[in-house]
Amino acid sequence: MDALLNLLPHVINGLSLGLLFALIALGFMLIVSVMEVINLAHGSLFALGAYVALVVVGSAATPGTYALALVVAPLAVGAFGLLLELCMRRTYGRDPLYGLLLTFGAAIVIEELIRALWGSRERVLPLPEAISGAVLIGDLIYAKYRFFACGIATALIVLLWLFIERTQVGAVIKAGAYDSEMVRALGYDLAKLRMGVFALGTALAAIAGVVMAPIWGIRPHVGVDAVVPAFLIIVLGGIGSFWGAVVAGLLVGLVVGLTGAYASEWSLMSMYLLFIAVVTFRARGLFGRKSMLEA
């Protein structure tokens, strides 16, 4: 019983980290599924969202300014994403390497822009008093913000699922993920669809940046900590699978959280080992569609 109680905080931390990983990965997954582009700037946009929140919140956070940051950051970064998508249009229909190189260059530009505007030192996003500090549950102490961040991540995941599954726009996005030319043949504007999906994906990256800022800190290269797990998660869960990304995010969070508790030096390595173990036996990921080459 004592062993289980000692394990419980690490399981909770792992699940909370997993939900946040899933939130980061879902925006990445939408762009990859619909546009067939690996957006290497996703992590830099994640970092940009955190810095925009820092400007909105200021030196002393209140519930109002923090809530405003959750609205302003995705809108500002989503607008930036629209500009990036316009630049990417010349790469459509060409070798995927063109899009990959363009987003890699955009990531470098965004990171250097952040350094020019805010400097290179690490910053901390102030939190309102209501969600800072710790809470005692039984004999265990938990950070209030972890529960708040989990709640935000869960709410956003559910809202995104409802948007994709219960709205006409979501149905078009799903169709575009399977066959973009069929969507064009049905009379939908594929250019507008791609623009909207890219803006939505970058806005989700910004929200994740705001939510993760108090946990990971804010620094120009924090996006690298976001984009690598996001890429692993969408491949692990199966490219194009919404719930695959969520389940894979939870698995990665649990593995990283539990490994960090008992062998901290292996915590980051553990997610790569999990990735290798899964794709070795199931190359398409946990919920990926079956390939024509498979028996």
In the chain, domain spans: 26-221
Q: Does position 2 have pLDDT exceeding 60, yes or no? A: no
Give kind and range of the element (H or E) at residue 140.
Answer: strand 140-143
% of the chain beyond a pLDDT of 90: 36
pLDDT at 109 over 90: yes
Can you tell me the mean pLDDT for 102-119? 93
- Give residue 157's pLDDT band: very low, low, confident or very high (50, 70, 90): very high
> Is pLDDT of 136 > 70?
yes
The pLDDT value given to residue 250: 92
The CA distance from 203 to 46, in Å, is 9
Tokens of 263: 């062998």
Average pLDDT score over the chain: 85
How sure is the predictor about 294, in pLDDT bands with cuts at 50, 70 and 90?
very low
- Residue 223 has a pLDDT of 87
Question: 225-251 pLDDT, tens per residue?
Answer: 888 888 899 999 988 888 999 999 999
Which residues does 89 contact at the CB level (< 8 Å), separation at least 6? 191
Tokens representing 25 are 């990965």
pLDDT band at 138 (very low <50, low <70, confident <90, very high): low
Give the model confidence (pLDDT) of 35-90 as tens digits: 778 889 999 999 999 999 999 998 777 888 999 999 999 999 999 999 999 998 88
C-alpha 133/C-alpha 50 separation (Å) is 20
Burial call 42-68: b when 16+ CB within 10 Å, e when fewer: bbbbbbbbbbbbbebbeeebeeebbee
pLDDT of residue 261: 75
